[in-house]
Amino acid sequence: MVENEQNNKISLLIDGKQVSVDSGATVLEAAREAGIYIPTLCYHHSLKPYGGCRLCIVEIEGLRGFHSSCTTPVLEGMIVRTNTEQLQELRKGIFELIVAEHPMACLTCAKNQRCELQSVAAHIGLQDFTITSQGRNLPILTDSPFFDRDYNLCILCGRCVRVCQEIRGVGAIAWTYRGSQTLPGTAFNRPILDSGCQSCGACVDICPTGALMERANKRAGPGEKVVRTTCPYCGVGCQLDIETKDNKIIRVVAPADIAPNHGQACVKGRFGIAEFVNSPDRLKTPLIRKGGKLVEASWDEALQLVANKLDGYRGDQFACISSARATNEDNYIAQKFTRVVMHTNNIDHCARV
C-alpha cells in the first residue's frame, strides 16, 4: 500500500523548491500546497478548472509560451517558474485589461478590505494605469429579496455562473450577450426569481468583487469575530460561519472546508438567521401578564407560572406549537414533553420560513 501511495506522487520543482503532490494535481494546486502564491481571479477550488483570467500563467521549462497553472497538470520532473520579471509584466497588462471597466472607488465600495481584486492588485504591484477606465453605467439590480447585483463591478470571472451550474445544478444565471457587452445574467433579463433562483447565496459567496452583495448589513465591512456553528433549520447539520461585529451578526457564510455542506447552504441557512436574531422585535427576556399588562420577569418566575397553569391539563386539552427556528434538540425536547408529560400527540410547527 505504501509503495502504491508513493508511486502516485509527482515530484516537481517550483521556483527552486522541491514539491511532491498527488498525480492529477494542477500546477496551481501544487504551488499552493507548497505555500507559493500565484494570483488568480477565476479559479475556485470547488469549481472545474477554467483558465479564464490568465493571471495564473507560469513558465514551464521545455515548453513554449506561458501556461495557465490552474489548467496544467503536473508532470514528473517539471520545472516551473511563477514570479519572473516577464511574468509580472504580463500579469500587470492582463490585470489592467480586467479592470478597464471597473470603477476605481475602493474606499466607497461595500466589499472594501474583503475584495480579492484588491489582494491581487497588491501582489502584482500595479500602480499606474495606461488604459483609461471606462465605466459601464449600469443600474443596480435589486430584484432578489436578499442580494443586489451591481454588474458595474463585475470582472467577468464567471464564478457565479459556474457555481450555479456546476455545484447547485440550477442554472439560474448564465452568460448573456457577446463581445464587449458580455455579462452574467438571466435569460431575456427576467427577474432573478423567475429564472429558478433558489436564493442560496452561493453566487454571492463566490464573487471576488462587490458585484454580488447581500443587502442586509451590506456596508458592515469585515467581521470582528467568526464563530462556527450548526445550522438550526433542519437535520442535515450544515456548518455555518457566523461573522459578528459590535455583538451583532453581520453575515452568515458556509465554510468550504468542512462536511456535510462543503461551502453550500440553503436560503434559510444563508439569509434566514441574522435577520431574526438581530430583529428589534425579538423577545430577549420572558414576559408575564400582571394587572393586564405584559412585564419582564425572570426565567424562574416565568417557568413556575407556566407549570402552575399547565397543572390539570392532560391529553387533548393540550397542544404545543414549536418553532422552525429552534434547534433540532429543542424541538425534540418539545415533542418529548408533549407526548410523555402531557400525554398527547398534539404538536406541530411551521417549517415554511
Give per-residue pLDDT as tens, 154-167: 999 999 999 999 99
* Nearest CA-CA partner of 319 in 346, 299, 337: 346
* Nearest CA-CA partner of 268 in 141, 142, 146: 146
The grid coordinates listed for 302 are 416565568
Mean pLDDT calculated for residue range 56-72? 96
Task: Give the separation between CA 99 and CA 113, rounded to whole angstroms.
Answer: 17
* Nearest CA-CA partner of 255 in 239, 268, 274: 239
Is 203 inside any structural domain? yes
For the chain, the average pLDDT equals: 91
What is the pLDDT at residue 271?
94
In a shared domain, residues 239 and 201? no
Helix (H) or strand (E) run with residue 252 in it: strand 248-253
Close Cβ partners of 327 (under 8 Å, ≥ 6 residues apart): 230, 232
Q: State yes or no: pLDDT of 325 exceeds 80.
A: no
CATH number, domain of 25, equals: 3.10.20.740
Judging by beta carbons within 10 Å of its beta carbon (0-12, 13-18, 19+), is residue 111 exposed, middle or buried? buried
Is 106 inside any structural domain? no
Local confidence band at 228 (pLDDT 50, 70, 90 cut-offs): very high
What is the pLDDT at residue 5?
45
In a shared domain, residues 75 and 159? no
Task: Give the separation between CA 218 and CA 141, rounded to whole angstroms.
Answer: 14
* Nearest CA-CA partner of 213 in 166, 251, 159, 169: 251
Q: State yes or no: pLDDT of 324 exceeds 80.
A: no
Print the domain residue range for 251: 225-277
Which residue did the predictor score with more confidence, 276 or 21? Answer: 21
Mean pLDDT calculated for residue range 199-206? 96
Give per-residue pLDDT as tens, 281-307.
Answer: 888 899 999 999 999 999 999 999 999
The grid coordinates listed for 63 are 515548453
Is 116 inside any structural domain? no
- The Cα-based distances of 8 to 14, 45, 147, 182 in angstroms read 19, 21, 44, 42
Last residue of a domain, one of 187, 214, 241: 214
Beta bridge partners of 294: 289
In a shared domain, residues 18 and 62? yes
Which residue did the predictor score with more confidence, 103 or 70? Answer: 70
Q: State yes or no: pLDDT of 353 exceeds 80.
A: no
Give per-residue pLDDT as tens, 10-20.
Answer: 999 999 999 99
Which residue did the predictor score with more confidence, 2 or 241? Answer: 241
Q: State yes or no: pLDDT of 81 exceeds 70.
A: yes
* Nearest CA-CA partner of 233 in 249, 258, 206, 254: 254
**Structural contact between residues 121 and 55, judged by C-beta atoms closer than 8 angstroms:** no
Task: Give the separation between CA 263 and CA 238, rounded to whole angstroms.
Answer: 9
Q: State yes or no: pLDDT of 351 exceeds 90.
A: no
Is 113 inside any structural domain? no
Q: What is the chain's Cα-based Rg?
A: 26
Is 219 inside any structural domain? no
In a shared domain, residues 244 and 295? no
CATH number, domain of 207, equals: 3.30.70.20
Is 114 inside any structural domain? no
Is 118 inside any structural domain? no
> Is residue 183 classed as helix, strand or coil in its secondary structure?
strand
> Is residue 151 classed as helix, strand or coil in its secondary structure?
helix
Task: Give the separation between CA 237 and CA 159, rounded to whole angstroms.
Answer: 26
Local confidence band at 1 (pLDDT 50, 70, 90 cut-offs): very low
**Structural contact between residues 176 and 188, judged by C-beta atoms closer than 8 angstroms:** no
Local confidence band at 243 (pLDDT 50, 70, 90 cut-offs): very high
**Structural contact between residues 13 and 19, judged by C-beta atoms closer than 8 angstroms:** yes
What is the pLDDT at residue 326?
80
Give per-residue pLDDT as tens, 104-146.
Answer: 888 899 999 899 999 999 988 877 777 777 788 999 999 999 9
In a shared domain, residues 311 and 263? no
Mean pLDDT calculated for residue range 48-71? 95
Counting the structural domains of the chain, the total is: 4
What is the pLDDT at residue 6?
53
Long-range contacts of the stretch 101-104 (C-beta < 8 A, 24+): 101/133, 101/134, 101/135, 101/136, 101/152, 102/133, 102/152, 102/153, 102/155, 102/209, 103/133, 103/135, 103/152, 103/153, 104/133
Is 55 inside any structural domain? yes
In a shared domain, residues 242 and 304? no
Residue type, 95: F
Q: State yes or no: pLDDT of 79 exceeds 90.
A: yes
The full DSSP string for 200-248 is --HHHHH-SSSSEEESTTTT--S-SEEEEEE-SSSSS--EEEEEEETTE
